[in-house]
């Protein structure tokens, strides 16, 4: 006889135990990380107060702020691509490859249709192609996990390199732009196949698309039976199987959705910023997106904040080099300090007695 388990209300998590503050790790990190990094730059002979003033002024400059938001939109989608599989207990390290494949599929559709179809229709087709390409690429790892028990963390990581080789193979030969002065890149997309700008800004509508996706993912994970079942599978697969849940289908669906989100990030980056395929175009968005999700505890709303934070830190690198004379690697040090501060305080909070 199959046991029947009643589903409790579809809430994201239990209330925090009395005396604990859910956002404590973030609050401590906001205070501690700048102090630690300030001490680091002081050793280098740089005035930390002047450095932070330069960084803040640069980030508040409109064009720089728009660039941060544009980058944050990509990191948000890349982070959600990790967060959804994580709810089912899966580790998706393949965001980079899924972003690349999403961009390749979107570019393929765009190059074929951008001079034949209306721009709005081309963009819709590119969105669908990007999401589908990312989903298929992540689905390969999901199928390997279910059929031959290959760990998805390993398979998704290795597929990143395959995806990169796929793109390079295309832009070095069949898709190479004949008028690109010998550089390996595809032909630029026509104007109609590029994401339009938000009125009065240099922001493209990819930011709006990312926020709509964020709301959809939050609702799906918190308010639907599918989201509840993912949490059950992620917490105890055997209990989920005993309750009659189709664990394999749920695991595969989580990977497919995660891949689709990463593929959508690739499309947004291609049609909103790059406009063509080229080596290094993804700028390690997939790997940073992985950090975004883990920094946020795989919670969608926190993923948005983490994406904004890491996008701002990444863009602060220019100010650190130009205004403060620090090496380019300094921005990686700052990012590491923030990550360690948040993860460290969160770990201590979890270990603390109730």
pLDDT greater at residue 310 or residue 102:
102
**348: confidence class by pLDDT, cuts 50, 70, 90:** low
pLDDT at residue 162 greater than cutoff 90: yes
As to burial, measured by CB atoms within 10 angstroms (0-12 exposed, 13-18 middle, 19+ buried), residue 237 is middle
Contact 68, 311 (CB under 8 A): yes
Q: Do residues 159 and 167 touch, judged by C-beta distance below 8 A?
A: no
Q: Which helix (H) or strand (E) holds 24?
A: helix 24-43
pLDDT category at 55 given cuts 50, 70, 90 is confident
Q: What is the pLDDT of residue 13?
A: 42
| Total Cβ atoms within 10 A of residue 27 | 12
Q: Quote the percentage of the chain above a pLDDT of 90.
A: 60
Alpha-carbon distances, residue 79 vs 92, 99, 160, 258 (angstroms) = 10, 11, 16, 9
Backbone angles phi, psi at 197, to 5 degrees: -85, 150
| Domains located in the chain, CATH noted | 46-351 (1.10.3470)
> In whole angstroms, how large is the CA radius of gyration of the chain?
21
Q: Token pair for residue 194?
A: 């590029």
* CB-CB contact of 144 with 105 (8 Å): no
Encode pLDDT of 198-250 as tens digits: 988 889 999 999 999 999 999 999 999 999 999 999 988 888 898 889 999 99
**DSSP type of residue 194:** S
Using the CB atoms, write b or e for 260-282: b if 16+ within 10 Å: bbbbbbbbbbbbbbbbbbbeebb
Range from 111-125, 144-158, 257-271, 340-354 carrying the lowest mean pLDDT: 340-354
Instruction: Confirm if 193 and 114 have CB atoms less than 8 A apart.
Output: yes
Which of these, 288, 325, 319, lies nearest to 303 by C-alpha position? 288
Categorize the per-residue pLDDT at 326 as very low, low, confident or very high, splitting at 50, 70 and 90: confident
Percent of the chain clearing pLDDT 70 (strictly above): 86
Highest mean pLDDT among 10-24, 50-64, 180-194, 263-277: 263-277
In the block, residue with structure tokens 């709810």: 87
Whole-structure pTM value = 0.87
* Predicted local distance difference test score (pLDDT) of residue 155: 97
Mean pLDDT, the chain, integer: 86
Higher pLDDT, 233 or 32: 233
Lowest mean pLDDT among 41-50, 127-136, 182-191, 246-255: 41-50
CA distance readout (Å), 266 to 179, 221, 225, 226, 328: 24, 23, 29, 26, 25
Structure tokens at 154: 């390993």
**pLDDT tops 50 at residue 5:** no
For the cut 50, the answer to whether the pLDDT of residue 70 exceeds it is yes
pLDDT of 299 reads: 93
């Amino acid at each position: 006889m199959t046991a029947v388990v009643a589903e409790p209300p579809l809430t994201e998590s239990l209330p925090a135990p009395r005396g604990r503050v859910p956002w404590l790790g973030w609050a401590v990190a906001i205070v501690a990380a700048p102090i630690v990094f300030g001490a680091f730059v002081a050793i280098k002979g740089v005035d930390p107060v002047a450095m932070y003033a330069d960084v803040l002024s640069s980030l508040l400059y409109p064009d720089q702020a728009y660039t941060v938001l544009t980058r944050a939109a990509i990191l948000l989608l890349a982070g959600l691509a990790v967060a959804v599989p994580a709810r089912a207990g899966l580790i998706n390290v393949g965001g980079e490859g899924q972003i690349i494949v999403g961009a390749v599929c979107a570019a393929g559709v765009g190059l074929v249709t951008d001079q034949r179809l209306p721009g709005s229709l081309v963009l819709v087709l590119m969105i669908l192609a990007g999401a589908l390409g990312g989903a298929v690429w992540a689905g390969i790892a999901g199928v390997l996990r279910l059929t031959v028990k290959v760990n998805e963390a390993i398979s998704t990581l290795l597929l990143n390199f395959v995806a990169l080789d796929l793109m390079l193979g295309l832009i070095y030969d069949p898709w190479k732009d004949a008028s690109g002065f010998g550089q390996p890149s595809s032909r630029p997309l026509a104007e109609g196949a590029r994401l339009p700008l938000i009125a009065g800004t240099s922001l493209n509508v990819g930011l709006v698309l990312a926020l709509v996706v964020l709301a959809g993912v939050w609702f799906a994970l918190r308010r639907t039976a599918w989201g509840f079942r993912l949490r059950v599978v992620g917490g105890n697969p055997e209990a989920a199987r005993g309750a009659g849940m189709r664990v394999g289908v749920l695991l595969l669906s989580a990977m497919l959705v995660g891949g689709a989100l990463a593929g959508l990030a690739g499309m947004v980056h291609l049609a909103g910023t790059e406009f063509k395929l080229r080596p290094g175009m993804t700028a390690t968005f997939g790997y940073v997106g992985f950090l975004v999700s883990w920094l946020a505890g795989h919670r969608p709303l926190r993923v948005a904040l983490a994406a904004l934070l890491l996008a701002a830190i990444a863009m602060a690198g220019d100010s650190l080099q130009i205004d403060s004379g620090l090496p380019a690697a300094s921005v990686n040090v700052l990012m590491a300090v923030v990550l360690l501060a948040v993860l460290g305080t969160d770990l201590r909070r979890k270990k603390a007695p109730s």
